[in-house]
């Protein structure tokens, strides 16, 4: 698990606790809506928190928000965006 996975898992676990989710474990293949029960409002909160943490919004340029279905895809969106931005720096 890299720093992107860890950050996404932490944010999701915190929200799951707030929502009193009965799901005990979180896996990268868990679907955000179908398995974890997150609403569009939850997703907006998650993205806002992660944008604050990482200082980037992958959905403004490179990734369609509608393509994010699982925990792993969410982490990959940040990983791809931030690693691409880092590679562009001199």
pLDDT (tens, 9 = 90+) of the chain, 90 residues, equals 899 999 999 999 999 999 888 887 899 999 999 999 999 999 999 999 999 999 988 888 777 788 889 999 999 999 988 887 665 655
Q: Kindly report the pTM of this predicted structure.
A: 0.86
How many angstroms from the chain centroid is the CA of residue 73?
7
Query: How many whole angstroms separate alpha carbon 23 and alpha carbon 47?
Result: 21
Q: Report the candidate in 19, 6, 18 with the shortest Cα–Cα distance to residue 74.
A: 6
What Cα–Cα distance (Å) separates residue 28 from each residue in 43, 60, 87?
16, 23, 25
């Amino acid at each position: 698990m890299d720093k992107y996975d860890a950050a996404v898992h932490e944010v999701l676990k915190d929200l799951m606790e707030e929502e009193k989710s009965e799901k005990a474990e979180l896996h990268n293949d868990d679907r955000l809506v179908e398995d974890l029960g997150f609403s569009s409002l939850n997703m907006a909160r998650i993205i806002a928190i992660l944008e604050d943490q990482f200082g980037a919004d992958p959905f403004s340029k490179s990734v369609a928000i509608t393509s994010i279905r699982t925990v792993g895809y969410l982490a990959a969106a940040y990983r791809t965006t931030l690693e691409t931005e880092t590679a562009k720096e001199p």
